[in-house]
Amino acid sequence: MPSCIIIGAGMAGLTAAQQLAERGWRVTVLDKGRGVGGRLATRRLANGRADHGAQVIRAESAEFRTWLTSADTETALMEWPVDPAGTGWIGRDGMNRVAKQLADGLTVDTEQTVTAVHGEPGGWRVETKTGPSFRADALLCTIPAPQALTLFADASTLLSSVDRDALQRIQYEPCLTVLVTLDRPSLIPAPGGQWLDRPNIAWIADNQQKGISPDLPTVTILASTAFSRAHLDGDLNAAGQQLLAQLTDYLPADAITSMQVHRWRYSQVVQAHAEPFHRADTPLPLLFGGDGFGGTAPFDPHLNVERAFLSGCRMADWLLSHLR
């Protein structure tokens, strides 16, 4: 039975894992987080919820649209008529629901920070911060390219200069996400999500109108790229307050009961690898993929999830055709 270790339990990693497992592979997915999903992220706020990563999913390819509308995913997804460019999908009780459904039945070890990777005669050996090591025939790395480069920095003999150059060319912009709870409904117009033409704010969404937080009004605010870049390593609470001060027409100050700010260092791809994955020049199969692969500028943030999905599919296809 062929085996594979996948680093990263986001859309790309889980998609590849599911397809390999369905074909009889032994697959282990490792992620440093407490749960699966990556930027398919939903946070609990008191008795409410708020999506604080990907906000809506859109499909351009027939392959991804077919998956979104399949019987396997219909229980996890619903349409949200917020996108003028076409149908948008969201998780029924948050975007993380999509990732959880993909992970169902898979071997996923969370809170496992990978610290070292070794190519040995019997296959790959992956070490983790907590102590356990994992072995497999193939290795997929689906974390953001800068993190992948850091991981493989101590294994410099594994990657060629061509491999490193391919990963270094992938570029991301950060995003600060503000999550607030309210003691009354927001003043955001239906259907509850808007791209805003304001200097410091890119997006605002009412998660109650969205349908994922029926018992408590919660709102998600995405800061603009410029604002996020300027405040990424500063006082996040002060940055959040600065953004809220610009949204009193939607969120009266006396209605806000709590605020959290989340930092996404690698939020939006601005330069991607043209192919859906990169195969490293290594004796053992090593593939890099994710939403930073398979696209050309300009990048629509609604297509991040689709790029990750297609990357996962193509990595699985390659392994299935080359290892038996």
Where are the chain's structural domains?
3-44+104-170+273-322, 172-268
Please give the pLDDT value at position 152. Answer: 92
Please give the pLDDT value at position 2. Answer: 96
For the segment 161-184, the average pLDDT, to the nearest whole number, is 97
Rounded Cα distance between 179 and 196, Å, is: 16
For the segment 156-163, the average pLDDT, to the nearest whole number, is 88
Does the predicted TM-score (pTM) go above 0.85?
yes
- Residue 85 — pLDDT band, cuts 50, 70, 90? low
Q: How confident is the model over 208-218, as pLDDT tens digits?
A: 999 999 999 99
Q: What is the CA radius of gyration of the chain?
A: 20
Q: Residues with Cβ < 8 Å from 154, sequence gap 6 or more? A: 116
Q: Is the pLDDT of residue 110 over 80?
A: yes
Written as six digits, the tokens of 30 are 């490792």
- On whether the 3-44+104-170+273-322 domain is CATH 3.50.50.60, my answer is yes
Please give the pLDDT value at position 266. Answer: 97
Alpha helices in 23-106 (DSSP H): 62-68, 96-103
- Residue 122 — pLDDT band, cuts 50, 70, 90? confident
* Beta carbons within 10 angstroms of residue 207's beta carbon: 30
- Residue 157 — pLDDT band, cuts 50, 70, 90? confident
Please give the pLDDT value at position 224. Answer: 96
Q: How confident is the model over 278-303, as pLDDT tens digits?
A: 999 999 999 999 999 997 766 677 78
- What CATH number was assigned to the domain covering residues 172-268? 3.90.660.10
One-letter identity of residue 242: Q
More confident residue, 156 or 169: 169
Instruction: Give the sign of the dihedral formed by CA 270, CA 272, CA 276, CA 279.
Output: negative
